[in-house]
Amino acid sequence: MRLLLRKSSPDFVTCFNVARNKRDELTWNIYQHLNSFHVRHYSSAVPGNSEKPPIEELTKLKQANLKLTESVKTTEDKYIRALAEAENVRQRMMKQVGDAKQFGIQGFCKDLLSVADTLRLASENIPAEHLENTVVKSMHEGLKLTESQLMQVFEKHGVKLLHPEGQKFDPNFHEAVFQQSMPEKEAGTIFVVTKPGYTLNERVLRPALVGVVKQD
């Protein structure tokens, strides 16, 4: 009888092979239903037949079903973890691409800061009495115009000037080069900027060098 059940029905054998090879839990359940159907059908077709599938075979099938269920759960867990890891990699790559777009010119901008410093010092160190001279005055105006255009280019690309005179000292953006007692000012206030700083998209390119009021 058991041999007849396994070999007499092509659909039954096909379903069993699919369940065994593909480890598909749904197909396995169909196989179990078909098995139950064939047992009931054959038992009803043979009068007086009371033979039942052996307990050992049923036990093996249950164990196989349990293993397949555990395998499906393990595979699903690995799949979910792989998706999460792929998403993390995608987000990291997007961040790196964004940083490259925002800060790819950081080295170039740092090199231009010395040019900006030179223009600023040249325009600030011309004595006022020399500005009465037409040539000197024209040169001074040219320096100021060049410096202004450079600052506009900086601003266009996300570079901003830090000139924090009168502000509270912030170690994230300022570097104190000296301290001085000034009773008329609040302690921790920047009272002079010896060299302005710059930021690129809120990231410090160079901190501002400042003098800070110290607490007595």
**Quick check: helix, strand or coil at residue 165?**
coil
Torsion sign (Cα): 24, 62, 4, 44? negative
Residues 6+ positions from 41 with CB-CB distance below 8 Å: none
Q: What pLDDT, in 10s, does the model give residues 108-150?
A: 888 999 999 999 988 888 888 888 889 999 998 999 999 999 9
CATH of 159-216, one of 1.25.40.10, 1.10.1040.10, 2.30.22.10, 3.40.190.10: 2.30.22.10
**Spatial contact of 204 and 175, defined as CB atoms under 8 Å apart:** no
Q: Residues 178-190: pLDDT tens digits?
A: 999 888 889 899 9
> pLDDT confidence of 207, banded at 50, 70, 90?
very high
Kindly list the distances between the CA atom of residue 66 and the CA atoms of 9, 25, 31, 55, in Å, as whole numbers in the listed order.
25, 10, 14, 16
